[in-house]
Chain A
Amino acid sequence: MKKLIEITLGILTAIGGFVDIGDLVANAESGARFKMALAWVVVVGVIGICLFAEMAGRVAAVSQRPVFSLVRERLGAKVALANLGASFFINFLTLAAEIAGVALALELASSVNYLLWIPLVAFAVWLVIWRVRFSTMEKVFGLLGLCLLVFAVALWRFGPDWGALLSNAAHPTVPSGEGHPTYFYFAIALFGAAMTPYEVFFFSSGAIEEKWTKKDLVVERMNVYIGFPLGGLLSLALMALCSVILAPRGITVSTLSQATLPTVVVMGKLGLAVLLVGIFAATFGAALETGFSAGYTVAQYLGWQWGKFVRPKEAPRFHLVVLVSIIMGAFLVLTTIDPIKVTEYSIVLAAAALPLTYFPILVVANDPSYMGEHVNGRVTNALASIYLGILLIVSVATIPLMILTKAGS
């Protein structure tokens, strides 16, 4: 029973981290525009995040060192500072996007304009970080996030031609009217959404918050290997729903409401209610994670006390960074900037910055002076080396593709 509860850490980071506003937008958009032709990217992304999150969690449990502390130590003060600048900025965009996501879900439920919700959402996010126990927070948002299973239920009730979906996914072709650069731009967006670095910042720091040790490695692996693929399946269900309902009508997704429409068409009012709870939980959970991550990255670079396992007064600078980030994130979306665009930029830029974070994790996971006998095995290293190559290619290709495709338009 206790183990079962502990797995909610994985489910939170999977649902709130894997499926967040970025995944909702990226999967809905690519399903509507490319049907299942980008499904393989989700699979590649899920394997990647499993691989590196497991490493980051294992390093944290064994050596008690969180990811950004390792980044500083292995890349040195200067390069790590550049990494901190990039990671903090991308994480900040993601935080702003998640706050907007929560507000958009509330707008769809209440028809009160999302901008009016933003101050309230930002305050609620901060209050949860300030007052609610880490484990309570995980359980509540982890379990509520499971409402997103409605995507899978809706797909099943719609009864698509499964064979056609599978064959479309297995034999990806770029639809007419879409160019290859746009196709790869969306591939990068999906990949960035699946592998966003804040997931490992949060997961590794969370492992230390939860006081994990070597004994918890089994739970740690179960979290990763169950949680993230579950998140990936939900992403694919959303992509499939959009591919069978939106794509044939030529609807491209530019708002969150369009991403919810297929579920509503199939499941009606009840489906909408469950879906909105799910989106609320996933985006709120991710807002918490990115809010925490803002504090984690800065505090870990500078060696400040961080975390909820001490009284806020004991970690004042960590809490100050979190507070200021949430306020600034709220201000960014209050400028009426399109929250969907903020989301898109956050995941695409995340894709460009991936090697900066994942490379030091791979290095330390191989270093016996930290890991003792728990260093990476050969299979993990072989896979991770391939992924390092992929990450480098993605990183180099991102900005040129962004300019070439006018950000996928």
Chain B
Amino acid sequence: MAGQKMDAGLDILDVQIVDKDGRMSGVVDDLDFSWDEETGAPYVSSILSGPEALGTRLGGRIGLWMASVHARLHDREDPGPAKISIGVVKKISNHVEITVSREDLDISRSPDWARDTIISKIPGADRAVE
């Protein structure tokens, strides 16, 4: 829908992201803009999601704390916030639907500490209940 308009804060910021299999894959914590080389106008190039992006946005002590806890659990040196290219977005409505799998996203670049260290070690973690 060319020419369609929306208000970024109202319609996309803080919206749930859902992957191609309908699995929840984070929240739109921020948007990243690039500059169009011809017109010079900024355009949305990617969605930022995860504690680094949220931490920066929250600012203050809580934001720093959030980013540092995340960094410690994931043992990486400041990789910058996780990005999801706008190119893999399928639809923006009640959810932001994307065309790829959660595992293939930048937000899954670090191993999942909660899953690997704790939850997967409890019997039944792999069993579907329904």
Chains A and B share a contact (CB less than 8 Å): yes
Instruction: Name A residues whose Cβ lies closer than 8 Å to a Cβ of B.
Output: 63-65, 69, 72-73, 76-78, 80-81, 130-135, 299-306, 308-314, 316-317, 319-320, 323, 369-370
Contacts of A316 in B (CB 8 A): 112, 114-115, 118-120, 125
Flag if B24 contacts A305 (CB, 8 Å).
yes
Flag if B130 contacts A81 (CB, 8 Å).
no
How many A-B pairs have beta carbons closer than 8 Å: the answer is 93
Contacts of B125 in A (CB 8 A): 311-313, 316
Flag if B126 contacts A78 (CB, 8 Å).
no
Q: Residue of A at shortest CB range from B126?
A: A313
Contacts of B94 in A (CB 8 A): 63-65, 370
Q: Which of A133, A300, A302 contacts B129 (CB 8 A)?
A: A133
Known A72-B27, A77-B57, A305-B23; contact A130-B124, beta-carbon cutoff 8 A: yes
| Binary interface encoding of chain B residues 24-55 relative to chain A, with 1 for a CB under 8 A from any of its CBs, else 0 | 11110100000000000000000001000010
Flag if B118 contacts A303 (CB, 8 Å).
no
Q: Residue of A at shortest CB range from B127?
A: A311
The 9 closest A-B pairs by CB, nearest first: A303-B27, A316-B115, A316-B119, A303-B26, A316-B114, A305-B24, A320-B114, A317-B114, A73-B14
CA gap between A340 and B27 in the complex, in Å: 38
Q: Which of B9, B29, B49, B126 contacts A311 (CB 8 A)?
A: B126
Flag if A131 contacts B124 (CB, 8 Å).
yes
Flag if B112 contacts A69 (CB, 8 Å).
no
The number of chain B residues with a CB under 8 A from chain A is 34
Could you list some 9 contacts between A and B, CB below 8 A?
Answer: A72-B14, A134-B130, A302-B26, A303-B16, A304-B24, A305-B23, A308-B129, A312-B124, A316-B125
Flag if A73 contacts B15 (CB, 8 Å).
yes
A77-B14, A77-B57, A305-B25 known, 7 other contacts, Cβ within 8 Å: A65-B95, A69-B16, A81-B58, A131-B129, A302-B27, A305-B24, A317-B115
Contacts of B14 in A (CB 8 A): 72-73, 76-77, 80
CA gap between A288 and B129 in the complex, in Å: 16
Asked if B128 lies at the interface with its beta carbon under 8 angstroms from chain A, I say yes
Known A72-B27, A303-B16; contact A312-B122, beta-carbon cutoff 8 A: yes
Known A303-B16, A303-B27, A314-B23; contact A320-B118, beta-carbon cutoff 8 A: yes
Count chain A CB atoms within 10 A of each CB in B11, B54, B115 and give the residue with the most: B115
43-97 of chain B: CB within 8 A of chain A = 49, 54, 57-58, 62, 94-95
Q: Residue of B at shortest CB range from A78?
A: B58
Contacts of A77 in B (CB 8 A): 14, 29, 54, 57-58
CA gap between A72 and B28 in the complex, in Å: 11
Contacts of B98 in A (CB 8 A): none
Q: Residue of B at shortest CB range from A305?
A: B24
Q: How far is the CB of B37 from chain A (nearest CB, A)?
A: 32
CA gap between A77 and B13 in the complex, in Å: 9
CA gap between A309 and B58 in the complex, in Å: 31
Contacts of A72 in B (CB 8 A): 14, 27
Contacts of B130 in A (CB 8 A): 133-135, 308-309
CA gap between A319 and B117 in the complex, in Å: 13
CA gap between A308 and B128 in the complex, in Å: 8
